[in-house]
A and B are shown apart, each in its own frame.
Chain A
């Protein structure tokens, strides 16, 4: 099956610094990628949808200036958490669609997640 690689698996940073998380589709081109956040014992919450070559669409309540998303190529999307604070500590997960998620019967492929801890 299609593989989505997410890096790093975990990261610890100091408050006020920025952290970049990479999401790569290894064996397919992903025109659309999604970024989710998951707090402990909670479900995944969609943060934003990114389409290659265009600006990301953020969900209500997600600060676009804090969570910078770049989808510059068909195989790579990055999420940068700027000026991270302890409340940003969470499990961040990306997913990708090889066909742009334009039909309801398409399946998404997920990365293995990045655990961010902000001290």
Chain B
């Protein structure tokens, strides 16, 4: 299974853009790149996912490198509510007949007022 590497922590000023990087150098051609985030004392929530092309939704943008070995989650204007741990995940097929999410340590984003 392809692994992901993320910085342990990042800081951002409020209302500034944030670029959260993720390396996945062993990604296969069919691996999707997913991002989830976990606010303190909450379950994770879905942020965005993509395969090859850049993706945008109301929460964030996902920029995927041309060789797909890295990606960047972009929060266009960080708010205090965006302070969370962000996980970059490549779902993998399991023996239970479904795709699973394996959570790494993620990046803890702190937003400074």
Contacts and interface: CB of A to CB of B under 8 A. Distances in A.
Interface residues on B, range: 20 to 34
B21 interface: no
Contact of B31 (A1, A43, A57, A104): A104
Interface stretch (A13-21, A73-81, A82-90, A110-118): A110-118
A58 B8 CA distance: 29
A49 B93 CA distance: 12
Contacts of A106: 91, 99
Interface residues on A, range: 20 to 34
B42 A113 contact: yes
Given A46-B102, A49-B98, A51-B96, A104 B43 contact: no
A44 B99 contact: no
Contacts, number: 74
B30 A104 contact: yes
Q: Give chain A's interface secondary structure class.
A: strand
B100 A109 contact: no
Contacts of B41: 91, 113, 115
Interface string B9-21: 0000000000000
A25 interface: no
A29 to B, nearest CB: 15
A81 to B, nearest CB: 18
Contact of A105 (B42, B43, B51, B87): B51
Interface in B38-77: 38, 41-46, 49, 51
Given A43-B105, A43-B106, A49-B94, A103 B44 contact: no
Contacts of A93: 43-44
Interface of A: 1, 4, 6, 32, 34, 36, 43-46, 49, 51, 57, 91, 93-95, 97, 100-113, 115
Given A43-B105, A109-B46, A115-B41, 7 more contacts: A34-B101, A46-B102, A94-B43, A101-B100, A104-B93, A108-B46, A110-B44
8 contacts: A1-B46, A36-B103, A43-B87, A43-B105, A97-B98, A102-B98, A108-B46, A110-B43
